[in-house]
Structure 1
């Protein structure tokens, strides 16, 4: 029997699917993703806020949603738009804009994340990773690799890039972890911590401004550069400046920290994989791309709202409908990848969508690649015998937008 929107339910599945799926937040992806790709690649689902949106699961359609500007980011924050997350959407965020506004803000920070600049930062990132890796040996065994490496590394890197005092790390680390929550019961805490983050960035911008006026800013960081652009060129508002700083700070460490954890689990759950990189460090860049494809970054996907009626895989998406492009599912699509459920560390033909596609392709992709490559290079070189201290199925996953484990106990 068809549902009230005309779509047919998948045999054996709840006709009203809800995201995240009941078996989400675990080591391997829910089997529901494969069933949807096979039987109903564009399907109605309910979000955790109770709104109904379309879920897109196949590679071709996901890539189209991400690249087609008829699927809008700006409309996701319009009054009455379907909601997909606990946190209230912020209209001034660069992630909630379409061109030309998005283009204007993105151009202000693109030069800070170019491949060339990230390669210039690589030695410093490698030194930072090595310092953390050496420190692991001083911790009681087993050591929590998330707490002592996976989280500190990207935090130190983004602090260096933005000019955030490392002493403030415990504050924004706690707040940013909360704003990604997928527990509706935590809505008030999520909003409170979001406000704290905005206030923190606002005060940091004011501090950068005072330093410039007093002649104390001798080595301008990215946040100082953006503040100067705001004050001297007036090409972004104060609200946009604060939101841009917040986005870069939070996304710049949460995503990479969770990917480091997922990468290590994927390698260590089958020790031969780890040993392959131990014996062949030159294979690490290619392995990183495969690990990016293989490990899902979230339990949902990237969100858009249709700006006009669009047909997708034979389904009519109406103007104003919400659409979630499930990148993690697309990266396991048989139509795009040979043996997609196999982790093939030497996979060369690998057009994964881990960093998105189109105008919203992840700005920090060059930085993330350097951090992930240096992580594997340092850890495989220094701790070739590293292994998981618990069975992979015993790892506890956090119920947040960015998938990752709460702890990662390993023995060195």
Structure 2
């Protein structure tokens, strides 16, 4: 197969940010394993479902960016080292050890017990906007909901929630402020460092107190008593759980609401048959997920996908959202169909790095979206969909900066 090298400038455009699926369709058809060039690093992008599934389960594609080769320097820059020594950027057996420790806090029974608290937070947030007849669903609902849930689960003091949210939003909205790139990078690095120092301080404060029933206390025990975590791993894992525990869920809720509001027949179906909500959440995640490309992998040896040679040391991106629109995997894949049989979508990843917080994400999405539809009658976009402000196309996340809506107060 001919390798059609694609400059990132041709892929990550404003048009791509608004709707990446035509570009993904063209890549799936013409160059399903496509070399992509960019100023910071070159990579290979995999877009077909079967290839994506195989790649996510291929041990030759390593997630360890912090080994002797120091791949993180190419991808994230030097400031990332302190906050990225965690299970996301590791391979078995290190990944297995870190995931086993962290998964205790995500036991399905414990997460299911959070349903009443999630519903309570949802009600509190909506009580503030219902009388207004209008809202920004991102800043008023989709972002604070999972942030409040994961902060409570971790054991972050309530008085600090707003400051923690402010730091994470600087990181999330990188590239959208309109500031010069160097200034933008400096702001993001400062937010990362501030959040890192803050979490280290929270950990030290908890060490001086009797053990509490929260995730950070459990991780401290694994570090101090069992010796299963290093101090660096402890802080980095806390950072990962905080950021991953709210970012993708917030973006997903925003994407899901846009999908529903721009597909009125599907919205009407869900309003008439609310029992479809659990399967609807799965279809909405397949249709427009918050993580268009899985976090980067490194080829540890020369390998080949669809006749394209990927040399050892290459960065490989698996385009989850492209795979989830593959017509060979899903009938009428570009159509939102809430009555679709639950299929093997990859919205939560695949393989050993399958999302650890899947149960919590589903609970937040089901309760949150259900409440929005119930409590905001006549819900509609306040702007044409093409005018919605989105995260930059080069962002690792697919999400909205704002989601202005109107409804019948």
TM-score if structure 1 supplies the norm length? 0.90
Distance across 2 between alignment mates of 1:19 and 1:195:
33
CA shift, 1:168, in A, is: 1.4
User: Any idea what the Cα deviations from partners look like across 1:315-345, whole Å, max 9, x if unmatched?
Assistant: 1212111111111111011111111100000
Work out whether 1:407 is the aligned partner of 2:402. Answer: yes
Contact between 1:201 and 1:242, CA under 8 Å: does it hold in 2? Answer: yes
Contact between 1:53 and 1:322, CA under 8 Å: does it hold in 2? Answer: yes
Distance across 2 between alignment mates of 1:147 and 1:306:
39
Distance across 2 between alignment mates of 1:401 and 1:162:
24
Work out whether 1:55 is the aligned partner of 2:53. Answer: no
Distance across 2 between alignment mates of 1:148 and 1:181:
16
Partner residue in 2 for 1:126: 119
User: Any idea what the Cα deviations from partners look like across 1:62-115, whole Å, max 9, x if unmatched?
Assistant: 111111111000046653537345685435132111111111111111122233
1:100-249 matched pairs, under 5 angstroms: 100-139=93-132, 141-180=133-172, 183=175, 184-185=181-182, 186-212=184-210, 217=211, 219-249=212-242
Distance across 2 between alignment mates of 1:344 and 1:328:
16
Distance across 2 between alignment mates of 1:108 and 1:159:
19
**Alignment counterpart, residue 39 of structure 1, candidates 19, 30, 41:** 30
> Which 10-residue stretch deviates more, 269-278 or 102-111?
269-278
Partner residue in 2 for 1:263: 256
Partner residue in 2 for 1:79: 69
Distance across 2 between alignment mates of 1:326 and 1:196:
31
CA shift, 1:7, in A, is: 4.2
Distance across 2 between alignment mates of 1:268 and 1:103:
41
Instruction: Point out where structure 1 has 5 or more consecutive residues left out of the alignment.
Output: 1-5
Structure 1 residues 409 and 159, CA, compared in 2 at 3 Å: closer, same or farther? same
* Secondary structure class of the residue paired with 2:328: coil
1:326-341 matched pairs, under 5 angstroms: 326-341=319-334
> Which 10-residue stretch deviates more, 16-25 or 92-101?
16-25
User: Any idea what the Cα deviations from partners look like across 1:113-172, whole Å, max 9, x if unmatched?
Assistant: 233222211122112212222221134x42111111111110110011101112212222
Distance across 2 between alignment mates of 1:30 and 1:337:
14
CA shift, 1:36, in A, is: 0.8
Contact between 1:20 and 1:299, CA under 8 Å: does it hold in 2? Answer: no
Distance across 2 between alignment mates of 1:197 and 1:398:
21
Contact between 1:24 and 1:299, CA under 8 Å: does it hold in 2? Answer: no
Partner residue in 2 for 1:383: 376
> Which 10-residue stretch deviates more, 69-78 or 359-368?
69-78
* Secondary structure class of the residue paired with 1:354: coil
Work out whether 1:96 is the aligned partner of 2:89. Answer: yes
Root-mean-square deviation (Å): 2.1
Residues matched between the structures, number = 396
User: Any idea what the Cα deviations from partners look like across 1:210-237, whole Å, max 9, x if unmatched?
Assistant: 112xxxx4x4211011112211111110
Partner residue in 2 for 1:69: 59
Contact between 2:260 and 2:266, CA under 8 Å: does it hold in 1? Answer: yes
* Secondary structure class of the residue paired with 2:356: coil
1:303-318 matched pairs, under 5 angstroms: 303-318=296-311
CA shift, 1:15, in A, is: 4.6
Distance across 1 between alignment mates of 2:263 and 2:328:
26
Instruction: Point out where structure 2 has 5 or more consecutive residues left out of the alignment.
Output: 176-180
**Alignment counterpart, residue 252 of structure 1, candidates 245, 256, 275:** 245
